[in-house]
Structure 1
Amino acid sequence: MRTLNESHFFVRDIKPEARAEAIVQGDRYRFTVLTSRMIRMEYAEDGVFEDRPTQTVWNRDFPVPDFRVVDEADELQIITEHVHLHYSKEPFAENTLYVDVKGNFSTYYSRYTFGGPKRTLKGTARTLDHADGAIELEEGIVSKQGYASIDDSSSFIMTEDHFVEPRRAGQCDVYYFGYGHDYKQAIKDFYHLTGPTPMLPRQVLGNWWSRYWSYNEKEYKELMTRFKEEDVPFSVSVIDMDWHVTNIPEQYGSGWTGYTWNRELFPDPKGFLDWLKKDNRMVTLNLHPADGVRAFEESYEAMAVAMGVDPESGDRIPFDFSDREFIENYFVHLHHPHEADGVDFWWIDWQQGATSKIKGLDPLWMLNHYHAIDIAREGKRPLIFSRYAGPGSHRYPIGFSGDTIISWASLKFQPYFTATASNIGYGWWSHDIGGHHRGVKDDELATRWLQYGVFSPIMRLHSTFSIFNGKEPWRYSLEAEVVMKEYLRLRHRLVPYLYTMNARNHFDGLPLVLPMYYEYPDDERAYNVPNQYFFGTELVVSPIVEQMNDKLHVAATTVWLPEGEWFDFFSGHKYHGDKHVRMFRRLSEQAVLAKAGAIVPMARHLEHSNDVMTPDHLELVVFPGADNSFTLYEDNNVDVTHREGENALTTFALDWEERRLTLVPPTGHQDLLPESRYLTLYLRGVTDGSVTANGNRLITHYDEETLTLEVEVGRISYEEEIVLELGVDVTKNENRLERLYYFLDKAEISFGLKDDLYRMLEKQPDPVTLMHQLQAMPIEKDLVDAMLELMLL
């Protein structure tokens, strides 16, 4: 069977058998010490254990750690550097098997007991369909108490030909994770166990246009042309279900499922796809496969013959992903012809539950798995777009989170939901940015949601079938429109940074978005900012998810700043860490913080272009205050093997004490880079000053509003190291009075109060006096806190 036997990186890298020296086995039990913190625990009454891969677990070939076994008549102990297992050699139960994590994580809860309660930091959920705010999440593999587990007992086995079969009855198969607070290592080892997240193509890191709407070709082209004319870039076109025929004869049921282009809307499908792709877009089509293949489809005859059905009968060919023959023909006859015409990947919009002809087999997992395998059949990256189907689903990016309700509650839940999904390795959620359906038109909500989308894994605008519910920026107020356009352009400029984090996820096992406690696991404050997260290695984001103060024209978010110096990514405003801060932002602003020393590579904005490929004009945004280095990752955007050297790595090293930024020549395949590259440096959060390159003074421009020194470095060499001497210092927020004036000028409060506040703050009293003076005044808390943010930090 071609589809199932296809040789590509998925099946090539599967190594399901553990090393013999890692195994401790008895008549009915088997323990495999995979790492000093991860133990596979199996029990089988017949003493037959499973060494094949499962739906979740693909690689058990870990280097064997040091461990000690104490084997007595009625008890087995396994002791590693990090955990201590106790087992009474009886059937697994709460009183026969427990594992302690070494280390002072808690007095009581660091003990795992088989079948006992789970106290993890949660993982993710199958979907946010119809969610209006928070929902219950499944468990993850990290915990404040230091342990977690995954029960793989009901996971299907993958056979030698890469199909699936149920387990034999009576097998218990659990993976214990005792990683303490080393959450990063837990996720890295989880990826080793279950398989890596594939590299995503660069285009999917840009903006996606998606709308449930029965576009015709002319209308869609006109919309894309207008986006381009208005300088709003989109690198992925999502065509919802009306690409295919939906108005079908009654005897066939609903038109939800379809594989035949609606030529009344799209008379030349291939020409339409070619037009989109020539303008630097990838294309995905919506797919609802549950109704199988019916006689009105163009592909029906070929599918019927392949499945042994008489085409003259007109009998429906049922959807059945438990049938190998159906799977093969499903791809060959229903999908490959469309892909030959230009469809890049499929939006698998499965909403029919988790039941199939084989008890316990989830059709969604099967669809995700085999679509990923099939789309990668000719060396492409295994890209799909579908809902989450359990642990291991990170192998099948990208995640579609479903049809959320348009509400502030929905927006407020999504940052936490997205960051927490990293606790089960699921790093590429794509939300219906702006919400899908219901709700009310709210320009502020739409703008805040879009801003969050720019700083989320995937930026996909979407809306339901309504003539009033579109996400085009010009549908909103002028202020909202301007902000939306700027942020959509920003997303494309961020692709060099995002693509490097894409490689980090693939190679190093760390998702783009991580909760704060990954870097600060022993600081309780890191657990109390659920909507704040790391966005790659350099940035921290705390999205605005609350409505604006109508009088002050700003909205607040409470941010926890770890120890050190932090800088507003946009304004350069400096904050001292080790505290909570209420940050206030106008509609045009978002709370994005850069750590001291942060280095963020970006692309120069290409006007009226959707292109997100390797840029020839790079912008490097650098923040002061600490040493740091950043290595930009670039490749051919196609290769799926990712062997060492099949990329180009460019390192930027900041020595802040010496005020020196070194541009290291690229290593690897320089032929993957533009023939020459122009570099503009932005030193943000600094004083005005000068920059020299190898002794030559460079052209600079200082922007007082953003505390940014713009430096024209020019064409950079791929052969020689360039050393930039930075004649600047860390800002002292010299523009705080200007910021204060702008804030008070826009605030709808009495002129007398404005004058009093400005005169008081113009004197720049010491912090304690200022706090007492403000708190003693009969003014609202938001105004006090906004003053403190502007004047004290």
Structure 2
Amino acid sequence: MNFNKIKFKALIIAVVIISGNINAQTYQKTDSGLKFSNDNMNVEVKFYGENTIRIIKYPLGKSFEKNSLSVIKQEQKIKFSVSEKTNIISLKTNDLNIFINAKNGEITYKSSSGKELLKEKENDFKPFNDAGNPTYSVTQSFQLEKDEPIYGLGILQNGKMSQRNTDVKMIQNNTWDFVPFFQSIKGYGIYWDNTSPTQFTDTLEKTSFSSEVGEGVDYYFIYGKNADGVVAGMRDLTGNVPMLPLWTYGFWQSKERYKSQDEIVGVVKKYRDLKVPLDGIIQDWQYWGNNYQWNAMDFISPDFPDGKKMVQDIHDMNAHLSVSIWSSFGPMTNQYREMDKKGMLFNFQTWPQSGLESWPPDMNYPSGVRVYDAYNPEARDIYWRYLNKGIFSLGIDSWWMDSTEPDHLNQQPGDLDTKTHLGSFRKVRNAYPLVAVGGVYDNQRKTTSEKRVFILTRSAFAGQQRYGSNTWSGDVNSSWEMLRNQVPAGLNFSLTGNPNFNSDIGGFFAGVYRRNGGAKNLSFQELYVRWLQYGAFTPMMRSHGTDVPREIYQFGNKGDVVYDVIEKFIKLRYTLLPYIYSTSWDVTKNNSSFMRALSMDFPSDKKTWDINNEYLFGKSILVAPVLNAQYTPEKVIKTDENEGWNNANNKKEDALSNVDFTQNKSVKVYLPSGADWFDFWTNEKHKGGQEIQKSVSLQSMPLYIKAGSIVPLGPDVQYATEKKWDNLTLAIYPGADADFVLYEDEFDNYNYEKGSYTEIPIQWNEKSKTLTLDARKGKYKGMIEKRNFNLNLPNGQKKIVSYSGKKVSVKF
């Protein structure tokens, strides 16, 4: 017997067997994708739309079942082709080519033209004991191009626009709100669908999400082709944005805190007497009396003797009231007693820690305040029942949901083992704001459709845009560095699909200025004005903080420079309400964004990719806030939440003199290429693609309008709905074709969902120099049948046109 021949035949047979295995189909096609297994894991690919793909990977021999808290869309049956060659499974749709290595499960995403979009690297499952439940810690890595900017991740106080080279532990806290999602300049996004604490790490070698708890890797690849498309894809997955009431886009005044019914009503009266516009006033904490009655959701403090009359007095002045509600309850509240009996309260430390209103907390007198289990639908219903009975029934207009992270102080080793309705607190930690805010939204919607839900909240997660909420950036300090951080923080948050962002105008902790003149301190005045100018171009314009009161009259009197500039920008906000409200409709109907990173609209201009100090507000207005001190010394202030509350170390500073806020200064502004730009104040025209020097004083900030824009301007009012929009100005900025849709409805109910609204499409034809008001679409009760439009061009040409709903054109 020839031993070598036997070896050769065996080798041939082995090659044939291996070859057969290579060419055999290793996957199973399903209605919405495919699945397969390799040596160590199961892989599932599911389509949630033609360009949205869910990837699930989990250890071999295990099962994977999950009800996402964020994703509300179901998997879809779509047309796709699939083939396999040499261990590579290929899926094709109209726009995407997906290549899966069947041996290691790694996936490469390419466009239909063959351009590589993203490539997976390794993934990992490490056994983990989650409060007695055997599970895994999970990691998925990707390979990005070296110079590829990415955006998103939530509200990050790191001052960065592109989040390359970021390494951050994503666990909700007071001033950092995390959404495990990023999108690329290449037109794709990744949503990592995991609610546990997650490490996001980006290096040149790899970009990874690593979560403490997960049955497997679970993420969505969204190919939107551009930033708006990715945002639309994310909202398609996690929920669209409802319309907010018109009045919420007016000016809000607040402070920590109005200490009596007379005080808060008096603030509204003072604004009305001064004829400074105001729509919202906020009552912060302690209207319930003391810390043992924390969040009782009732006006039981003797300083608030008649809550119903207080609400009526504010409404009689055509203003709206929001009140502070929390995620926790004191032991002397009815909510605490009912939830405690049902095991719906957590045992970790939260704020306030002491029953006494002193700082630091006196732990000889613990408050007993506990966070409630918002993951439990019954608990959310109990929460609303007390909220509805105690204060919504009085006519309260909106909610300030504070501490929705929630506050978790002095974290102990076992705290994340805390049992919730959905498993350990660790497993669902980052989604707390989503379920807490969602509980109030859903229950108010069930209660009435006459008043739109509006929730101001301190924390957010993926999908929260569907709950009528606007997230503010937490208790940030009053410093220039912190003001600078707010711009990219808001832009990155918007790029996760959450369009509604704001910050405390002036910064929350103003302690350093408290003993140095407060609102009369020139350093604080300069910071406050620049923050207010920025705030005028965010989705909510809200003045708030502690230590230094912020009402306009605290800064002086009419005729004083600082008072006048505050009034000027509040009035400018009201002038822009028709533009802002129509933009709000564009957000709801077309998945647009209010605050637009320059890279969204000018991706081919690489200089825009990492600009963190300018943005578009809507699609026409370029905002370049002044983010550095020009008249006073710039202090570097670093505080955390505890230091912010502790004002004992504030040192007296030397008083400033000879500060002239009317003196002109110079700032640099970059105007993106691909458009010409008109100076909002002077109508001077500039070519795009250049950096210019702009002369400003404290009374002005750089604002530019994109050529090819139509901006509707409203009347001079004291509150948003004081006057009808029957005599609007249309500011036309030529140089390119333009279009705009003027949107109107009943302003504060949900009839728009049933079609009760109007749209007036407006176009500018650059070649023929013609403005066309198209036929009005739709109708609603009380709509304006006939109106005038005042048409203004930058060169001074003006015309008036009457409009009764039929198409009309005006030639210049």
- TM-score with structure 2 setting the length: 0.73
Please say if 1:116 is aligned against 2:154. no
Residue 22 of structure 1 corresponds to which residue in structure 2? 32
| Equivalent in 639, 653, 659 of residue 763 of structure 2 | 653
Residue 748 of structure 1 corresponds to which residue in structure 2? none
Please say if 1:556 is aligned against 2:667. yes
Deviations 1:308-330 (A, max 9, x none): 99xxxx99997333444433222
| Equivalent in 608, 611, 622 of residue 732 of structure 2 | 622
Q: CA deviation at 1:146?
A: 5.4
Q: CA deviation at 1:556?
A: 0.8
Please say if 1:720 is aligned against 2:806. yes
Describe the shift of the 1:207–1:46 C-alpha distance in structure 2 as closer, same or farther (beyond 3 A). farther
Moved more, 518-527 or 475-484: 475-484
| Equivalent in 301, 306, 309 of residue 268 of structure 1 | 306
Q: State the alpha-carbon separation in 2 of the partners of residues 657 and 625 from structure 1.
A: 9
Work out whether residues 273 and 342 of structure 1, in 8 Å CA contact, stay in contact via their aligned partners in 2.
Answer: yes
Work out whether residues 526 and 560 of structure 1, in 8 Å CA contact, stay in contact via their aligned partners in 2.
Answer: no
Describe the shift of the 1:270–1:130 C-alpha distance in structure 2 as closer, same or farther (beyond 3 A). farther
- Does the residue aligned with 2:151 lie in a helix, a strand or coil? coil
Q: State the alpha-carbon separation in 1 of the partners of residues 221 and 344 from structure 2.
A: 47
Moved more, 324-333 or 526-535: 324-333
Please say if 1:278 is aligned against 2:323. no
Q: State the alpha-carbon separation in 1 of the partners of residues 623 and 709 from structure 2.
A: 14
Q: CA deviation at 1:225?
A: 1.4
Q: State the alpha-carbon separation in 2 of the partners of residues 344 and 647 from structure 1.
A: 22
Q: State the alpha-carbon separation in 1 of the partners of residues 214 and 490 from structure 2.
A: 36
Describe the shift of the 1:53–1:96 C-alpha distance in structure 2 as closer, same or farther (beyond 3 A). closer
Residue 59 of structure 1 corresponds to which residue in structure 2? 73
Q: CA deviation at 1:645?
A: 3.6
Q: CA deviation at 1:722?
A: 3.1
Please say if 1:69 is aligned against 2:89. no
Q: Sequence identity of aligned pairs in percent?
A: 21
- Does the residue aligned with 1:199 lie in a helix, a strand or coil? coil
Describe the shift of the 1:329–1:118 C-alpha distance in structure 2 as closer, same or farther (beyond 3 A). farther
Q: CA deviation at 1:38?
A: 2.7
- Does the residue aligned with 1:557 lie in a helix, a strand or coil? strand
Residue 772 of structure 2 corresponds to which residue in structure 1? 662
- Does the residue aligned with 2:150 lie in a helix, a strand or coil? coil
- Does the residue aligned with 1:366 lie in a helix, a strand or coil? helix
Q: CA deviation at 1:709?
A: 4.3
Letter of the 2:217 counterpart: C
Q: State the alpha-carbon separation in 2 of the partners of residues 709 and 444 from structure 1.
A: 37
- Does the residue aligned with 2:252 lie in a helix, a strand or coil? strand
Letter of the 1:475 counterpart: F
Work out whether residues 566 and 576 of structure 1, in 8 Å CA contact, stay in contact via their aligned partners in 2.
Answer: yes
Q: State the alpha-carbon separation in 2 of the partners of residues 666 and 315 from structure 1.
A: 58
Moved more, 372-381 or 628-637: 372-381
Q: CA deviation at 1:604?
A: 0.7
Deviations 1:746-777 (A, max 9, x none): xxxxxxxxxxxxxxxxxxxxxxxxxxxxxxxx
Please say if 1:498 is aligned against 2:551. no
Residue 406 of structure 1 corresponds to which residue in structure 2? 478
Q: State the alpha-carbon separation in 1 of the partners of residues 690 and 556 from structure 2.
A: 37
Deviations 1:274-325 (A, max 9, x none): 12123332321112332x2533x4778888999999xxxx999973334444
Residue 427 of structure 1 corresponds to which residue in structure 2? 499
Residue 226 of structure 1 corresponds to which residue in structure 2? 270
- Does the residue aligned with 1:224 lie in a helix, a strand or coil? helix
Describe the shift of the 1:306–1:673 C-alpha distance in structure 2 as closer, same or farther (beyond 3 A). farther
Please say if 1:387 is aligned against 2:428. no
Describe the shift of the 1:244–1:129 C-alpha distance in structure 2 as closer, same or farther (beyond 3 A). farther
| Equivalent in 276, 282, 294 of residue 331 of structure 2 | 294
Q: State the alpha-carbon separation in 2 of the partners of residues 273 and 388 from structure 1.
A: 27
Q: CA deviation at 1:490?
A: 1.4
- Does the residue aligned with 2:611 lie in a helix, a strand or coil? coil
Please say if 1:375 is aligned against 2:444. yes
Between the two proteins, the alignment pairs up a number of residues equal to: 650
Work out whether residues 53 and 59 of structure 1, in 8 Å CA contact, stay in contact via their aligned partners in 2.
Answer: no
Deviations 1:511-543 (A, max 9, x none): 111111112222211114222112112221111
- Does the residue aligned with 2:419 lie in a helix, a strand or coil? coil
Q: CA deviation at 1:644?
A: 6.9
Describe the shift of the 1:644–1:118 C-alpha distance in structure 2 as closer, same or farther (beyond 3 A). farther
**Unaligned stretches of 5+ in structure 2?**
1-28, 123-139, 169-175, 198-210, 346-366, 409-414, 514-520, 632-658
- Does the residue aligned with 1:420 lie in a helix, a strand or coil? helix
Q: CA deviation at 1:153?
A: 4.6
| Equivalent in 255, 280, 289 of residue 211 of structure 1 | 255
Residue 785 of structure 1 corresponds to which residue in structure 2? none
Residue 86 of structure 1 corresponds to which residue in structure 2? 99
Deviations 1:206-255 (A, max 9, x none): 11111112332222222211211222111111111132212x6xxx4xx6
Q: State the alpha-carbon separation in 1 of the partners of residues 615 and 76 from structure 2.
A: 31
Q: State the alpha-carbon separation in 2 of the partners of residues 455 and 317 from structure 1.
A: 37
Moved more, 543-552 or 271-280: 543-552
Q: State the alpha-carbon separation in 2 of the partners of residues 222 and 586 from structure 1.
A: 33
Q: State the alpha-carbon separation in 2 of the partners of residues 155 and 628 from structure 1.
A: 46
Residue 435 of structure 2 corresponds to which residue in structure 1? 366
Letter of the 1:497 counterpart: Y
- TM-score with structure 1 setting the length: 0.74
Residue 418 of structure 1 corresponds to which residue in structure 2? 490
Residue 646 of structure 2 corresponds to which residue in structure 1? none
Work out whether residues 785 and 805 of structure 2, in 8 Å CA contact, stay in contact via their aligned partners in 1.
Answer: no
Q: CA deviation at 1:349?
A: 0.9
> After the TM superposition, which residues 724-743 of structure 1 pair with which residues of structure 2 at under 5 Å, given as runs?
724-726=810-812
Work out whether residues 81 and 93 of structure 2, in 8 Å CA contact, stay in contact via their aligned partners in 1.
Answer: yes
RMSD value, Cα: 3.6
Deviations 1:571-601 (A, max 9, x none): 2111122222232322221211111131111
> After the TM superposition, which residues 166-185 of structure 1 pair with which residues of structure 2 at under 5 Å, given as runs?
170-179=215-224, 182-185=226-229
Q: State the alpha-carbon separation in 1 of the partners of residues 503 and 384 from structure 2.
A: 27
Deviations 1:76-121 (A, max 9, x none): 222334443333445xxxx5312132389988x8423352257562
Work out whether residues 123 and 421 of structure 1, in 8 Å CA contact, stay in contact via their aligned partners in 2.
Answer: yes
Residue 109 of structure 2 corresponds to which residue in structure 1? 100
> After the TM superposition, which residues 132-211 of structure 1 pair with which residues of structure 2 at under 5 Å, given as runs?
140-144=181-185, 147-154=188-195, 170-179=215-224, 182-211=226-255
Structure with greater strand share of residues: 2
Describe the shift of the 1:457–1:317 C-alpha distance in structure 2 as closer, same or farther (beyond 3 A). closer
Q: State the alpha-carbon separation in 2 of the partners of residues 176 and 121 from structure 1.
A: 14
Q: State the alpha-carbon separation in 2 of the partners of residues 365 and 198 from structure 1.
A: 15
- Does the residue aligned with 1:173 lie in a helix, a strand or coil? strand
Work out whether residues 516 and 532 of structure 1, in 8 Å CA contact, stay in contact via their aligned partners in 2.
Answer: yes
Describe the shift of the 1:209–1:573 C-alpha distance in structure 2 as closer, same or farther (beyond 3 A). same
Letter of the 1:294 counterpart: P
Residue 22 of structure 2 corresponds to which residue in structure 1? none
Describe the shift of the 1:185–1:274 C-alpha distance in structure 2 as closer, same or farther (beyond 3 A). same
Q: State the alpha-carbon separation in 1 of the partners of residues 252 and 114 from structure 2.
A: 43
Deviations 1:50-69 (A, max 9, x none): 4x7511211135572x4321
Describe the shift of the 1:605–1:46 C-alpha distance in structure 2 as closer, same or farther (beyond 3 A). farther
Q: CA deviation at 1:680?
A: 2.7
